[in-house]
Amino acid sequence: MEAPFPLLVATKAPTILPAERRCHTWVSPVLFLGTVALGLQAPLCTQYLWDRLGAQLGYNGSAASGSAGCGNASGAGDLRQQELETLVSHWNLYINLAGFFVALFSVTVFGPWSDSVGRRPALILPAAGMALQAAIYLLVMYLRLHVGYFLLGRILCSLMGDYNLILASCFAYVADISDQRSRTFRIAILEACLGVAGMLASIIGGQWLKAQGYINPFWLVFAVSLAAALYAALCLQESVKESKPAKLFTLSHYMSVYRLYAAPGYQRSRQKLVLYSLTFFLIVTIHFGAKDIFVLYELSSPLCWGSDLIGYGSAASYLTYLSSLAGLRALQLCLEDTWVAELGLLSNVSGLVVISLASTTPLMFTGYGILFLSMAATPVIRAKLSKLVDEKDQGALFASVACVEGLCSLVATGVFNALYPASLHFMKGFPFLFGAIILLIPAALIG
């Protein structure tokens, strides 16, 4: 047992097992709905930027029409296409930067705060923020406002915690109601929920965009975000046993996160906490970075995918959550969690190498297929991190993990959106190959 508080775990576990059976599935709809909203919004936003900015540049390759990236018939050498790809990737960078710095402040406040007041408020606020962001995006589309207003929507959403706070609160909720033996698989179930929701959103978004354009799918983003907030407010049971009022804006929340990594005592556990956090950072950075440029990579030549194929490709990437859950459950019967994580990294490295060389649709989907176990490493690391801290610090822990994920998004966006246009002239798939090489570092750290 890796927890630094074995007596506390031993006395608490019998009292929380009934709650595990009763409450575990109840938090899943919040995560499911939030992920549907995000899974619809992210690729649609990139394609909308492609169309709006392409129209300003006089480029006639349309993401919605299915001829994206191939409209000027000059392939990868078309300078105007490369200019558009660079502009869209830079706008993605600006939007993610705007969200990260605000969310870094808000998540580290709301996460530890939820250790006192409960998880429900920390689920309601970010879901409402995502609904507000969708409403602003709709105004941009209806009124043809400048795409810079996307920054405003992202900042307001981040002030309320953004999607990372939903993730942190849901994982902390599961940690509240599960014992250490089942925690890895319970967390993997939540990650599989991410995959089901993302796959559904990707298929719906691609087909809907092709049929009716951008506005109606974004109304669905608004509706499911609002539904997640209402579900958390009206239906979800609280998992914190002794919730109590607490100040929101206080330095003690930041100190509770700091103490996890720097407080004296349990030095071995603190060292593991730092190493697992570094491993998590590298894995998730590559995951986010690859997903950031998948749509751009597929829009342009030689693949020249339309919105329907982009939807199927995004669904295939989300399917890895489900296949990784099944693989993790099967491999846990004969292997330690650490070896399961290593096999997951091997799957990730192999898939990215194939995608980096993909010049045809079948080869691209082959790369997606090889990624079938690529998401097995993250639930193992989340569970190991959770076991290293006290039960009363789960909110602070997963808030720090959410901040790490925000930093992952920032670094991934900066590196991959800069590396992608810079490598167009010598190897278009080089960012994926770069990611595969970086993943050898967490494989060594886990080993």
Neighbours of 215 (CB within 10 A): 13
From residue 8, alpha-carbon distances to 113, 173, 180, 187, 217 in Å are 22, 18, 12, 21, 48
| Residue, of 249 and 127, whose pLDDT is higher | 127
Q: With pLDDT > 90 as the criterion, what percentage of the chain qualifies?
A: 33
Q: Is the pLDDT of residue 15 over 80?
A: no
Q: What is the per-residue pLDDT for 339?
A: 94
The tens digit of pLDDT for each residue in 209-220 reads 877 888 899 999
Per-chain mean pLDDT for the chain:
82
Instruction: Set out the domains of the chain in order of their start, with CATH numbers.
Output: 25-65+74-240+265-446 (1.20.1250.20)
Mean pLDDT value across residues 17-34:
66
Burial of 205 (0-12, 13-18, 19+ CB in 10 A): buried
Of 139-148, 177-186, 341-350, the poorest mean pLDDT is in: 177-186
Mean pLDDT value across residues 150-164:
92
Q: Is the pLDDT of residue 21 over 60?
A: no
Positive or negative torsion for Cα 398, 101, 36, 121: positive
The tens digit of pLDDT for each residue in 263-295 reads 655 566 778 888 999 999 999 999 989 987 888
Q: Is the pLDDT of residue 302 over 50?
A: yes
Q: Is the pLDDT of residue 342 over 50?
A: yes
Q: What is the per-residue pLDDT for 250?
A: 66
Mean pLDDT value across residues 80-108:
83
Positive or negative torsion for Cα 245, 249, 255, 256: positive
Q: What is the per-residue pLDDT for 75?
A: 47
pTM as predicted: 0.75
Highest average pLDDT, of 168-177, 294-303, 308-317, 433-442, comes from 433-442
Q: What is the per-residue pLDDT for 136?
A: 95
Q: Is the pLDDT of residue 73 over 70?
A: no
The tokens for 12 are: 């608490």
Q: Is the pLDDT of residue 67 over 70?
A: no
Mean pLDDT value across residues 348-357:
95
Could you tell me the pLDDT band of residue 5, with boundaries at 50, 70 and 90? very low
Q: What is the per-residue pLDDT for 138?
A: 95
